[in-house]
Amino acid sequence: MRVHTKHGHSLVELLLGITVAGTMTATAIPAVSSMAAHAHVNQAAVTVSHDLAVAVSDAARERKPIRIALGTGHKSITITDRTSGTLLATRFLGRGDIYALDSASFSTSPVDVMPSGLTSSQLTVTLWSQGYSRQVTMSLAGWVRVR
């Protein structure tokens, strides 16, 4: 008499496994999406704070005033030489770019950075995506920090 051993899984077992895996994936997607949005906003905030600090440093090094302004469509930041109007840098922050932000806003635009390090006004840059936001502030003295 020959003993039959079971090889593999039945169709019901395979369908049950696929259903469990699909349910687990469906519940994890919103959490992963939220974590990605937070990471993009945090990374953009650190980058913008660095760009603002570099603008203050460039104004002092070149002994020329520098203008920081919000780009068109609220999706970019431009840094220009105030006297000649030469574009020094542009940071794109929109959906189609690496940071994938919904929007960016300035409390005041434009802001001029003088060679002494002083600014024409305080600046708060608010960056947000999917309901999460961070603020980058620059004081009248040119100090930059992320909040």
Sorted by sequence, the CB contacts under 8 Å of residue 19 that are 6+ apart come out as none
Predicted local confidence at residue 147, as pLDDT: 92
Question: Amino acid identity of 54?
Answer: V
The rounded distance, in Å, linking the Cα atoms of 128 and 40 is: 9
Predicted local confidence at residue 63, as pLDDT: 96
The rounded distance, in Å, linking the Cα atoms of 7 and 130 is: 49
Q: Domains in the chain, start-ordered, CATH in brackets?
A: 11-146 (3.55.40.10)
Predicted model pTM: 0.80
Q: To which residue do tokens 């603008």 refer?
A: 55
**pLDDT tens digit string along 79-134?**
999 999 999 999 999 888 889 899 899 999 899 999 999 999 999 999 999 999 99
pLDDT at 2 over 80: no
